[in-house]
Amino acid sequence: MKNIDKYLFQALDNYPYSLEETIESLDYAMSYDAKNTTALCLYGRIQTEQLLNYEEAKRYFQEALAINIDAVAVYPYYIETLLLNEDYEEASKLIDFAMTIKGINKMVILLKKVQLLERQAAIKEALKLIDEVKLNTFTNDTYETDEVEKRLKAKKELLKPKKKAKSEKSKEKSKK
């Protein structure tokens, strides 16, 4: 095992529970290889998840993908950052591109697309896409998909026009 791997494993093991140790290990890893996509991705995650600095996070993710466009681990975190930063058009393009990458976890990327549609208030389209997510699930762990589907169905119910109650109808008639 290379020294860089040791420090990357330490950083991944410490994140997010010990940020100081995570950063220390990442700095060591980057001193061995400043173009390591795993280290750059973790720096991006820290910027997004801990510091809420989405523009800086985007820079790390872009740098990682410029080094290795096939770095499949980067895409879900980068897409999440774009969604949080409300960069919806950019997120949509990245999702479409990510779906073409060999070895990418299509279920995870499709769930990001569902999130994008949900954030754009396209609830019906998001619910339709859930079926495709299910078709791209290759484990029995469907908890996340099931929870997203429940949330979308609840939102769809909220968006339905409310029927007027009988008492409201009778009040309206009596006013006339």
Q: What is the dihedral of CA 126, 129, 133, 135, to 10 degrees?
A: 160
How many CA atoms within 13 Å lie on the side-chain side of 153? 7
Predicted TM-score (pTM) of the model is 0.87
Domain limits of the chain? 1-100, 105-159
Q: For residue range 144-168, what is the model confidence (pLDDT) as tens digits?
A: 899 999 999 999 898 888 776 555 5
Q: For residue range 22-37, what is the model confidence (pLDDT) as tens digits?
A: 999 999 999 999 999 9
Superfamily of domain 1-100: Tetratricopeptide repeat domain (1.25.40.10)
Q: Report the Cα–Cα distance between both ends of the chain, in Å, rounded.
A: 84
